[in-house]
Amino acid sequence: MTTGAPTSPSTARPRRSPLRRYLPLGIAAWLVLEIWLLTQVAGAAGGLSVFLLLVAGFVAGSVVIKRAGRRAFQNLNEALQRGGSPSGNGGGGNGLMMLGGLLLIIPGLISDVAGLLLLLPPIQKAVSRSAESALDKRLRRAAPGSFGDAFQQARIHRPDGKVVQGEVIRDDSPAPGEQWPPLTR
């Protein structure tokens, strides 16, 4: 009888991705840089001017998010009235405009500059293209049918770590060609 830890591959700890490893460090560095820059600007221009800059960024971000939300809702209504699909290029970069507004709302000068840059159409197009190509590369690298299989099969995880794959079949389902019985109360 062995008392050591099991060494099977299913119980081995998965390796963390670089994004999960360095994201907390990057956020901490960004926060320290924001605070340092705010203190430097407050020392040079005064605390009241920094406060007014932060309030102006909050108000501008709120206006941008509200405008982008209205535009997205209007595009959705128009697409539904035409009978078409709202998922297309009719969004006009509303997601990036909302992200820019959110960055304006977050207190800090670096986030304000990044938010203002995201409001410029050429930057929006460049960010959109790079995000689209990165997503396309990631989808090509994925195993064929891995996304479709997620909706076709149920995966049951047992307590011992094994995965049982199979289709969900209901016992009370009607035979092919039959209809569901009416609900009664």
Distances (CA, A) of 8 to 110, 159, 161: 47, 15, 11
- Reported in sequence order, the residue ranges of the chain that DSSP labels E, i.e. its strands, are 154-157, 163-166
CA 65, CA 156: separation in Å to the nearest integer? 41
Predicted pLDDT of residue 18 = 83
Predicted pLDDT of residue 143 = 61
pLDDT in tens, 45-83: 998 999 999 999 999 999 999 999 898 888 888 888 887
The residues spanned by each domain of the chain are 27-137
CA 114, CA 118: separation in Å to the nearest integer? 6
Distances (CA, A) of 23 to 13, 110, 125, 131, 164: 20, 17, 25, 18, 34
Q: Which of the residue ranges 73-77, 84-88, 119-123, 131-135 would you say has the lowest mean pLDDT?
A: 84-88
Predicted pLDDT of residue 104 = 93
Residue 153: band (very low, low, confident or very high) from pLDDT cuts 50, 70, 90: very low
Span 107-129, average pLDDT? 92
- Asked if the model's pLDDT at residue 152 lies above 90, the reply is no
Give the other-Cβ count within 10 Å of 113's Cβ: 13
Span 82-90, average pLDDT? 64
pLDDT in tens, 13-51: 777 788 888 999 999 999 999 999 999 999 999 989 999
Compute the mean pLDDT over every residue in the chain, rounded to the nearest whole number. 79
Span 165-171, average pLDDT? 61
Whole-structure pTM over 0.85, yes or no?
Answer: no
